[in-house]
């Protein structure tokens, strides 16, 4: 669909981000403490960032308690760069939520050939849906959703194309791998 003009889609993308930011600032309670599972993962990320490994208590043996493995590792990297644990986790979650909204819009527009109003409504539905409540509770779910949406979009591109270039197959495979590394037990339970 290279003949479609891109400017209207860029403007709609901005129109999707703006209500997401407004809705988040107006209706989402970011003053709540982390939910229990999220707080546990934050502790693992903080200990990993501090160079102690994936441990519950510093000095103890590593544990297999970090369910969102790649999310924890990415959070630890941002903590190591100087962000607080909360800033790291919520920042990743919020950015992931916005990117997923944009993937939904652009996939509908450019891959599924949907019109602007229906593509916008699909993105808006996600934008003001439950994703932001996961961000406020410090969960890594939006990060997993971003990886799953990316894999989905790349899979749709592969299905559409007859020539299937190697880079697209590789991007799909890597995206699937990343999705599995974020929530390994979810991926293994699909067997």
Residue range 28-80, pLDDT digits in tens: 999 999 999 999 999 999 999 999 999 999 988 887 767 889 999 999 999 99
Please check the confidence at residue 190 and state whether its pLDDT lies above 70. Answer: no
> Is 98 contained in some domain?
yes
Q: How far apart are CA 53 and CA 26, in angstroms?
A: 38
Q: Report the C-alpha gap between 18 and 33 in whole angstroms.
A: 26
Domain-located, residue 2:
no
Asked, for residue 141, whether it belongs to a domain, the answer is yes
Per DSSP, the three-state class of 10 is helix
Within a domain: 48 = yes
Asked whether residue 56 is domain-assigned, the answer is: yes
Does residue 101 lie in a domain region? yes
Provide the token pair at 68.
Answer: 């969102």
Whether residue 1 is contained in a domain is answered as no
For the chain, the domain total comes to: 1
Structural domain includes residue 99: yes
| Residue numbers of the domain that contains 81 | 7-188
Question: To which residue do tokens 């939006």 refer?
Answer: 142
> Residue 156: its pLDDT value, please?
96
Residue 113 CB burial class (10 angstroms; 0-12, 13-18, ≥19): exposed
Q: Which residues contact 86 (CB under 8 A, 6 or more apart)?
A: 34, 42, 138
Global confidence as pTM: 0.90
Task: Give me the pLDDT at residue 162, please.
Answer: 84
């Amino acid at each position: 669909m290279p003949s479609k003009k891109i400017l209207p889609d860029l403007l709609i993308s901005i129109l999707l981000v703006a209500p997401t930011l407004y809705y988040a600032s107006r209706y989402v309670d970011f003053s709540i403490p982390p939910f229990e599972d999220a707080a546990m993962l934050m502790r693992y990320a903080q200990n990993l960032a501090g160079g102690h490994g994936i441990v519950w208590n510093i000095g103890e043996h590593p544990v297999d308690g970090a369910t969102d493995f790649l999310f924890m590792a990415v959070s630890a990297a941002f903590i190591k760069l100087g962000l607080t644990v909360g800033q790291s986790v919520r920042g990743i979650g919020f950015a992931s939520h916005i990117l997923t909204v944009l993937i939904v819009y652009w996939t509908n527009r450019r891959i599924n050939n949907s019109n602007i109003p229906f593509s916008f409504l699909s993105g808006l539905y996600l934008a003001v849906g439950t994703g932001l409540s996961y961000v406020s509770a410090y969960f890594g779910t939006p990060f997993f959703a971003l990886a799953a949406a990316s894999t989905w979009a790349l899979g749709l591109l592969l299905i559409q194309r007859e020539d299937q270039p190697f880079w697209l197959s590789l991007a799909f495979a890597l995206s699937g791998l990343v999705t599995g590394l974020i929530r390994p037990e979810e991926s293994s339970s699909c067997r």
